[in-house]
Amino acid sequence: MAWRAAYLVVGSREGADDAVQDAFERVFRNLSRFDVDRPFAPWLRRIVINCAIDHARGSQRHAELDENVIGSLDGGLEVADDLRLAISAIAQLPLDHRVAVVLRLIYGFSPDEAADILGVRVGTIHSRLSRALKDLRERIEVGDDR
């Protein structure tokens, strides 16, 4: 889960590896601050996503997802052309829009949770997601015309 989230944000194997390693180091350093009355997975995902964002900002504007890895993102099942096109389109989104899509549509965080993870207002999440979906529709429609 952690590596897939990082990979979708960073867009490279090496970047995902580095982001996850940094995230687990951060988790270990901050384990005493974890609230044991809350679920662990959302806390871990938040740290992973934030580390992945840091790595993505330091590397490139757009992700370049590896075709061999895309199939592993859904548990190794054969990936349909439509899904491959959608994942490729997501990779071309600006980082802030890509992260909004990953948090809301792939990992199912609520707008409030996504806003909390990113440290932005809920309206910002709605705006980024709206713009991302508009951009994705346009990219996918162009891709269908190939």
Residue among 142, 68, 69, 55 at smallest CA distance from 98: 55
Entry pTM: 0.72
37-60, pLDDT tens digit by residue?
A: 998 988 898 899 999 999 988 765
Sign of CA dihedral 96, 90, 110, 2: negative
Question: What does DSSP assign to residue 85?
Answer: H
Residue 117 near residue 50 (C-beta atoms within 8 A): yes
55-79, pLDDT tens digit by residue?
A: 988 765 455 555 555 555 555 445 5
Higher pLDDT, 24 or 86: 24
